[in-house]
Structure 1
Amino acid sequence: MADAAEKSAGRPRPEFRNIHVTQIVGYRLPLAGIVSILHRVSGALMFLVGLPFVLYLFQQSLVSEISFESYRAIVSHWFAKLVLLALAWAYLHHLCAGIRYLFLDMHVGVEKAASRSSAAAVLAVSLTLTLLVALKIFGVF
């Protein structure tokens, strides 16, 4: 016990400081941290915006022919298309990141290099799929 105290007495203790709110923008997260935060954001977006919006659209599409035309008018508006695109990104990113976390829970890819590459793969796959959905929503194909 005394040996540990003597060893630590020669070195200064590391100083950890809290990050102030104004320093958050300049703080550089690792790629896995960005994927983790986006996973939480996408889950919140789907729950708080997606669920009410999709249920409202589903109701409008089923009540009658007049309400279905109202549904078509809503969905054809550019802002509704952007909301649907954001919800599609949230779903696709949450799905891809969730699969990544399932593998991490099975202790597959927990090393630093593998974790970084799987985080990059999540971002690449979710953004690529979102681009394909955007092309479909905005009528390119």
Structure 2
Amino acid sequence: MPLNMIKLCVGAESVEDLEEWIAERLDEARALGRPVEQMHTTRMVPSRAPELVDGGSLYWVIKGSVQCRQRLLEVRPFTDADGISRCHLVLDPKVVRTEWQPRRAFQGWRYLVAADAPADLSDNASGWQALPPDLRSELASLGLL
């Protein structure tokens, strides 16, 4: 069973917002001739990295609910210019939408076992998943999703 991570997606208003941010960063890397890969930097290096990259994903909490995930491809520890240990989480740029799962705010990241992870949504979204992002967000803020 793969091991996952969960993290707040600070600054994103919706899954679509996250997808736009990823596309911009990948375009920027192409334009600058850098490797075209999506990375997220975190301060703490996961001690269970081999389990994470063996089929695990990073689940994103957006506006108080887990809403999507990205597959974890690699964990790259490094030391920054100030001598602080950090970590690049290399992610598959494809964002997979999941069932919404409410989560309280927390700092950093947490491990998430597969049994506790929300299920992926099908590509044929219907019901509340087919609603426009702003309406979904408003309904969620009212506790109706």
Structure in which a larger fraction of residues adopt helix: 1
TM over 0.5: no
Q: Give the TM-score normalised by structure 1.
A: 0.25
Q: Give the TM-score normalised by structure 2.
A: 0.25
Structure in which a larger fraction of residues adopt strand: 2
